[in-house]
Amino acid sequence: MQKIDHQLFIHTLKAHGISQKAFAQYAKIPYDTVTGWKKKGKVPAYAMVIAKDMAYRMRLDEQTRHALQRRSKRGNIEVIGLDKAEQKRIEAAFWGTNYTAGEIIENAKTGDKRFMQRLKENLPETLHKKALNAQVKRHA
């Protein structure tokens, strides 16, 4: 069975903000076994696979948490001056980003070049201008 250098294992855990105790709990390996690898200086190869999987899943959890926070804020933005169909059309111009029409308009109004460019490229000029003239209100 292939073995991995213990220092590399520890470095991988630290780089992803994972403690040995958290790793042991996630991998369902006794903590004493995980800490005992230091004495041997080598770690089973499967431990690195589990550590990388754990880091990947933690990153996914963080992205999901961020997406949920964004969704919860969606109800807090009101766009005045555009009907629902126009707002959907603006959101469609940013397909795959999960931005709301209100967020898009806010970013475009601050002069964010990426948002301005995408609006200009993907919307008819009349809707583009109407969006920039729309009023955006955030509610607590």
**Any idea where the domains of the chain sit in the sequence?**
3-71, 77-138
Strand partners, 78: 137
- Indicate whether this model's pTM tops 0.85: no
Give the model's pLDDT for residue 27: 96
Looking at residue 79, what is its pLDDT? 78
* pLDDT (tens digit per residue) in 99-121: 888 888 888 888 888 888 888 88
* Torsion sign over Cα 26, 32, 35, 39: negative
